[in-house]
A = this chain, B = another copy of it.
């Protein structure tokens, strides 16, 4: 299975809400940024040209469990890895830590799609070259 990539980010003032903590919806922005860092670390991007086609990975689901709040200027460690590599889909798992303590855990599921100009999204099998870069064999060829 592919490696885990660790990113860090400092909580910004605009990320907080009137409860004095990071607003929960921002964890989904944080997860997405970590996912994109993971892709960059594997020579990939969330929207790229691949063998003459425009390929993208729209989300099909997202979830997060919140264990402990974090505050302005806290520095988060975010570990992101591939939880599942299907024939057409990817699921990333994220763990958020602050000073080693668990903050939140989340998942993002995406589907590989061909992005034709003015066309509806069409899901496709993840190209072999992308699969190779992700450094993993399919865990579930039926997905």
Contact = CB atoms under 8 A, between A and B. Distances in A.
A79 interface: no
Given A61-B64, A61-B65, A66-B61, A12 B29 contact: yes
10 contacts: A12-B36, A13-B33, A14-B17, A14-B25, A16-B18, A18-B72, A19-B47, A19-B58, A25-B25, A62-B66
Interface string A16-50: 11111101111011001100100010000111000
A19 B113 CA distance: 12
Interface in A61-109: 61-66, 69, 71-73
Chain A contact residues (Cβ within 8 angstroms of B): what range?
35 or more
Interface of A: 12-14, 16-21, 23-26, 28-29, 32-33, 36, 40, 45-47, 56, 58-66, 69, 71-73, 117, 121
